[in-house]
Structure 1
Amino acid sequence: MADETIGIVGAGIVGLAIGREITRRRPGTRVVVLEKEPEVAQHQTGHNSGVVHAGIYYTPGSLKAELCTRGRLLLRDYCAEKKIAYDECGKLVVAVRSDELGRLDNLEKRALENGVPGLRRVDPAGIREIEPHAAGLAALHSPETAITDFPGVAGAFAEDIRTAGGEVRTNFPVARIDRSGAQIRVTATDGNRDVVVDQLIVCAGIHSDRVSGLAGDTAEPRIIPFRGEYMRVRPEKANLVRGMIYPVPDPRYPFLGVHFTRRVTGVVEVGPNAVLATAREGYRRTTVSVRDLLGIAAWPGTWQMARRHWRTGVKEVRGSLSKTRYMAEAMQYVPEIGAADVVRAGAGVRAQALDRDGALVDDFRIHRLGAITAVRNAPSPAATSSLAIAEHVVNEIFQQ
């Protein structure tokens, strides 16, 4: 209805995409986006690698596979419309050991089922033709995997919402969510500001489980933060990488492994790794939150995960502490770029959803509680898929 008010908690790229889709689908609906930071896109949206994924990795038939495929096309067209940088520089997924070739075969089958455009398998000569300084036994080439400016995209979504008459309220950290009849009251931490809405959508990223809990959704999964650290290739070696060079991922993990990525600025980065963070917003090793650590320790799934994967965890920590160890993995793919050729760059924090049994949740999870919708898990490729996620969520809301 035109006089309906819909609130959204979280001004990352997913929350803003949903707000924009509502204003497009139902002109006249009042949209209010609430964000605790002074600007939009300050967390996962603003700390990722800028990669627009083509759908290589995701289980056919999963929500990720479906929404990534559509989302990439929608995002490509949106960037063209808004004149936001979008470069289809392509990606190589490279096997460097013979024991990875079977996994590469499986990945190829999955990518073909997902309809990844232009996908082809190449031999060592084909690898060098695409990336002259890369090494490997075989690779999958995805020519339409792209890079873009996701904070710029999120900013454009916010402007679209405002232009349509909606609001994006920053500096509004949510402390309470109360239902009163058919209405929902969202109150800021200072207790002096609130917003009353008819429907509420929670897109709180790294805090999605906590904010969803305020709304009454206490179901799994729990969010466990993993810091992903990047190295930046020195300018004199940046020309050795034309696009993106990825390892064959370990199917046990939702992480894709340390890889080389060219950004739209021309900078080439290596990373990210995946180290258990000591705070939900722990972009630095020195950032520690006692509350967050207690929450991590209290969740049964944490200990189940640690028991299964502690060796990998130790390896990741060693790579985090030593630039030489970190680059030893990366040098398998581009041997000419070593520890002396990179400097430490920024870091992001991945909101990794973890079930009670220790399973690392891979697919998107979206819960409905009547007039409240909670986006409980939206990891990569959520930025790529943001416009398609918005369609999916808004379809469910309006169909109800």
Structure 2
Amino acid sequence: MVRVGIVGGGIVGIALARALTLRQAAEVTVLEKESRVASHQTGHNSGVVHAGVYYAPGTLKAELCRRGRIMVRDLCREKSLPYDEVGKLVVATDESELPALAEIERRARSNDVPDVRRLDDVALLREIEPSVAGVAAVHSPHTAVVDYSAITEAMAQDVREGGGEIRLRSEVTAVVADGPDVRVVSGGREFTFDQLVVCAGLQSDAVAALVGAQRSPRILPFRGEYWTLDRTRTGLVRGMIYPVPDPRFPFLGVHFTRGVYGDVHVGPNAVPALAREGYRWRDVSVRDTWESLVWPGAASLARQHWRMGMSEITGSLFKRLYFDRARRFVPELRMNDLAHRSAAGVRAQAWGADGALLDDFAIERAGQITLVRNAPSPAATSSMAIADYLIQQEHLG
């Protein structure tokens, strides 16, 4: 049987391991450097199952998100995991945002988002979200929320029961393609595989360097910070309230999300992190920061987006500014409704040597090694569809 190694125990790596194991297509070993699966991006997000509203038609994101949503829904039903279709409103707060909202509607329809509706009457908006303010919206009723950590743990159990191995506390420190074999040093041991797939998220470019792949794209970490609404005020939000995104950036802006356990999160923003796993301002890696500053695309990125960067940083440092952005959508919101900061997440955003932020999923092949170079949101939604895509396109197993 073909021996397949997978670097990374986030939801994409575990979904791939599960798909191969269920097919009995390979002898699978997952190498994860942390003490549990879903330790980073998978376990630090708002739990949204995206329906495909935002993504440019024809892209991998659009295709795999559409398929992945159904697969996540079906898995949650099979495993009796929470899956709640709370719905999403993408809200234009004034007429200047209407052209961008029209583009969101066009993409949603092109991507066959089910039952999507354009709402041009404030009364219709408030039938869905009674506290919302806006002049128009696009409604996606089948956008859902889940617990991605629980989903990953359930899939990991399937891997183990199917004979696959998930090795925790096993950081990969060397990779050598040696003839027909790939030798991997991890956790003080050497493993030999026929094929290797790197799903390393925040560390994807670092592992790519071990493989000897091209330096670009590099991972630029962005921290997303959340506030949690006071329990007595969660009635302000029934489902999800999102802004119309700025098409220049691969971020969706501060929004409201009711989670599967009844809490309501406000966020995230998008602050450049000072370490790949920099969940707080005090988490600083001199090496990570320096490598970002000297990256060839750094100057171009700074020239294009410094205003956005400063805006996000000040919103992070000053609660009043964060509150003001959120209150545009829910005028009844009060400052003390933002009860406390939730656990932040860090997005692994790939950027090229020209300074461009990659928008679509990016997958690269180097001999027997497949590298997932860019898999930010909606990668969790798309995880099982990404796994099927990798198996088919990369002829795994």
TM-score range, shorter chain: over 0.9
Indicate the residue corresponding to 1:344 in structure 2: 341
Indicate the residue corresponding to 2:353 in structure 1: 356
CA displacement at 1:26 relative to structure 2: 3.2
Which residue identity does 1:110 align to in structure 2? R
Residues 285-306 of structure 1, C-alpha deviations (whole Å, 9 max, x = no match): 1110011011111211122111
Which residue identity does 1:87 align to in structure 2? D
Residues 253-309 of structure 1, C-alpha deviations (whole Å, 9 max, x = no match): 000000000111100000000010000000011110011011111211122111111
Which residue of the other structure, out of 146, 152, 155, is the alignment partner of 2:153?
155
Indicate the residue corresponding to 2:237 in structure 1: 241
- CA spacing shift, 1:219–1:396, aligned 2, 3 Å: farther
Equivalent-residue separation in structure 2 for 1:101 and 1:180 (angstroms): 56
Indicate the residue corresponding to 1:265 in structure 2: 261
Any residues of structure 2 matched to 1:22-41 within 5 Å, and which?
A: 22-27=20-25, 29-41=26-38
Any residues of structure 2 matched to 1:13-52 within 5 Å, and which?
A: 13-27=11-25, 29-52=26-49
Equivalent-residue separation in structure 2 for 1:77 and 1:225 (angstroms): 32
1:286 aligns with 2:257: no
Any residues of structure 2 matched to 1:32-111 within 5 Å, and which?
A: 32-111=29-108
Equivalent-residue separation in structure 2 for 1:82 and 1:218 (angstroms): 40
1:64 and 1:364 in contact (8 A); partners too: yes
1:307 aligns with 2:303: yes
Equivalent-residue separation in structure 1 for 2:76 and 2:151 (angstroms): 7
What secondary structure sits across from 1:346 in the alignment? coil
Indicate the residue corresponding to 2:331 in structure 1: 335
CA displacement at 1:219 relative to structure 2: 4.4
Paired residues, number: 395
What secondary structure sits across from 1:239 in the alignment? helix
Which residue identity does 1:362 align to in structure 2? D
What secondary structure sits across from 1:158 in the alignment? helix
Q: Give me the TM-score of the superposition, normalised by structure 1.
A: 0.97
1:6 and 1:197 in contact (8 A); partners too: yes
Equivalent-residue separation in structure 2 for 1:327 and 1:346 (angstroms): 18
Indicate the residue corresponding to 2:383 in structure 1: 386
1:302 and 1:354 in contact (8 A); partners too: no
Deviation beyond 3 Å, 4+ runs, structure 1:
none
Equivalent-residue separation in structure 1 for 2:165 and 2:271 (angstroms): 36
Equivalent-residue separation in structure 2 for 1:48 and 1:195 (angstroms): 32
Residues 300-338 of structure 1, C-alpha deviations (whole Å, 9 max, x = no match): 112211111101111111100111100101101111123
Equivalent-residue separation in structure 2 for 1:224 and 1:82 (angstroms): 35
Equivalent-residue separation in structure 1 for 2:96 and 2:381 (angstroms): 31
Equivalent-residue separation in structure 1 for 2:358 and 2:85 (angstroms): 29
State the superposition RMSD in angstroms: 1.1
What secondary structure sits across from 2:275 in the alignment? coil
Indicate the residue corresponding to 1:375 in structure 2: 372
2:145 and 2:259 in contact (8 A); partners too: yes
In structure 2, list runs of 5 or more residues that go unmatched: none
1:118 aligns with 2:115: yes
Equivalent-residue separation in structure 1 for 2:248 and 2:197 (angstroms): 31
1:124 and 1:136 in contact (8 A); partners too: yes
1:228 aligns with 2:224: yes
Which residue of the other structure, out of 214, 239, 242, is the alignment partner of 2:210?
214
Equivalent-residue separation in structure 2 for 1:25 and 1:373 (angstroms): 19
Equivalent-residue separation in structure 1 for 2:294 and 2:23 (angstroms): 42
Indicate the residue corresponding to 1:178 in structure 2: 176
Which residue identity does 2:355 align to in structure 1? G
1:145 aligns with 2:143: yes
What secondary structure sits across from 2:224 in the alignment? strand
Which residue identity does 2:279 align to in structure 1? Y
Residues 58-104 of structure 1, C-alpha deviations (whole Å, 9 max, x = no match): 00000000000000011111110011100000000000011001110
Indicate the residue corresponding to 1:9 in structure 2: 7
Equivalent-residue separation in structure 1 for 2:367 and 2:77 (angstroms): 37
What secondary structure sits across from 1:139 in the alignment? strand
